[in-house]
A and B are shown apart, each in its own frame.
Chain A
Amino acid sequence: MNATLDSRALAASDAVLADQLAGLRALAPATLLPRTLIGVGLADAYAAIESPIGPLFVAFNGLGVAAVEQAPDGASFERTHVERFGRPAYRVTALPARLAGAIGRRLAGDRRVRIALDLRGRTQFERDVWTKALEIPRGEVRPYGWIAAEIGRPKAVRAVGTALGHNPVPLIVPCHRVVRSDGLIGNYSLGGPHNKRAILSAEGLDPDRLEALARAGIRLIGSDTTRGYCLPSCHAAQRITDRHRVTFRSTAAGHQAGYRACRLCRPGSAVAAA
């Protein structure tokens, strides 16, 4: 044995080592690509959730919830989704537990729970409308005109209706709680007016009673003890007993009778814009 031989052996074994290490290149798992695209918002993941109108598909990505949609099955949801958003949707077994919990609390009426939304490409006006709709408590409704007045665009009542119709995340943004300015329940983007009534009923509201009041010309309900008047579905109005209930056709009529507007439901906004 001499030094030359030793160093040759070392050199050879360096090459052998390099070859062995090169063999440690691995193939990425098939899930890495979709997970990455979902993470940056170039694809969505989706899963079904239960709702008062049956199963709904919720699509989300690293930016937030992108869509809530009714569809007969996953395949047709995926087709519609790629048409609407231009990106694929991958079905997952369930929503992440944290997101599922947050959506559950939101649907149960907790308005403080934060749910990130992916609203890329939406206008500021649409965001304003949807943000305002989030303020409407579970079991109550507000007219389109109320939203328009509250966001400082009292004449944009039709545009408010259009924006609500384009709401990509119905139920999470409760556009079902916004009704026609004449008090009738009105249309609904998620499967039509029948679903809107079903969701409102599930939230404890009686749509038939509400429409009966509207048809009778009753826009406001007041209390002769507090001397305040509310929109009919305001929870303050629902506490007024029959004995003390008074009704008004307009805010002007309420004012004339010496009543003031409820600070919770702010009926002035609705009537001013109607």
Chain B
Amino acid sequence: MDEPTLLDALADDLDGAFEPLVRARQNRLYSIALRILGDPTEAEDAAQDAFIRAYRALGGWDRDRIRALRLDAWLATIVVNVARTRSRRRGTTAGRESLTFLDDLDHPSAGSADTPHGRLGRSEASDAWAVRLLALPERYRAPIVLRHVDGLGYDEIALALERPEGTVKAQVHRGLGLLRAILEAETRAPAIGSGPPPGSSAPSRQMTANPSPRLQEVPR
């Protein structure tokens, strides 16, 4: 569903339109969170959290403000911020309580996770790319994820990340350069920098491992 349709519906009847919004955007918010955080459980939590924040914000706004929203850029802002906060707090949220559903959730829209590689991506090749992406410093990773995984325009990414459009373009360019450097490093020294070995299904925790330590940001 496109932005104007969703926004009209949300402005008219938030409660009625919220489920269609989640159905229409859940794969995008989940993908952004997954590629920033690397962990499917954390990503689901972050996407859920982002949708709940969006619902609460929309509930306090009048119709004109909702209609004027840049919906996808706004949702991206929320999920990136939630993912960043989670990323900083990682390891401290052990007491999290999650709901375990008893029934198979085979609702019409929601059967996606059962498809092969549904949660992590298409294949081992894409697992390897997910690992490379996680090796990027965060300031390059978010713009790259929004531009090339989610497909947002540069103007929307600039809004979402509150950075000038020129900065975003430069960061995407630099990020791609770093990814290329990672790939080259893997080719030179496969034992150090390669993705998961053939035939192994990479456990999600391993995806946070940094295959190229020299690219890590210096802690500030």
CB-based nearest B residue for A13: B180
User: How many contacts A-B (CB < 8 Å)?
Assistant: 149
For the complex, give the distance between the alpha carbons of A98 and B22 in Å.
28
CB distance from B197 to the nearest CB of A (A): 19
Pick the contact of B48 from A13, A20, A35, A42 — CB < 8 Å? Answer: A35
Most buried by B among A21, A30, A74: A21
When distances are taken between beta carbons in the complex, the residues of chain B under 8 Å from A45 are 99, 101
Which chain B residue lies CB-closest to A23?
A: B126
Report A109 CB to chain B, min CB distance, Å: 25
Q: Bits for B127-160, please: 1 = Cβ < 8 Å to A, else 0.
A: 0011001000000000011001111000000000
Alpha-carbon separation in the docked complex, A109 to B30 (Å)? 43
A22 contacts B by Cβ under 8 Å: yes
B100 in contact with A17 (CB, 8 Å): no
- Which residue from B34, B99, B144 sits with its C-beta under 8 Å from A35? B99
A209 to B52, CA, bound (A): 52
Q: Count contacts on B: residues with CB < 8 A to the other chain.
A: 56
The reply on A259 being an interface residue by CB < 8 A is no
Closest chain-A Cβ to B129's Cβ sits at a distance in Å of 5
Contact yes or no, B48 A32, CB < 8 A: yes
Residues of A within 8 A of B179 (CB): 17
Do the beta carbons of B130 and A27 come within 8 Å of each other? no
In contact, B176 and A26 (Cβ under 8 angstroms): no
Question: Given A27-B118, A90-B103, do A32 and B30 touch, yes or no (CB 8 Å)?
Answer: yes
**Which residue of the partner chain A has the closest CB to B115?**
A27
State which of B26, B121, B150 has its C-beta within 8 Å of the C-beta of A32: B26
Residue of A22, A30, A98 near B107 (CB, 8 A) is: A30
Known: A32-B110, A45-B101. 19 other contacts (CB 8 A): A21-B129, A23-B122, A23-B125, A24-B126, A27-B27, A28-B47, A28-B112, A29-B119, A30-B111, A31-B99, A32-B44, A32-B48, A33-B23, A35-B48, A40-B55, A40-B56, A74-B102, A92-B101, A98-B97
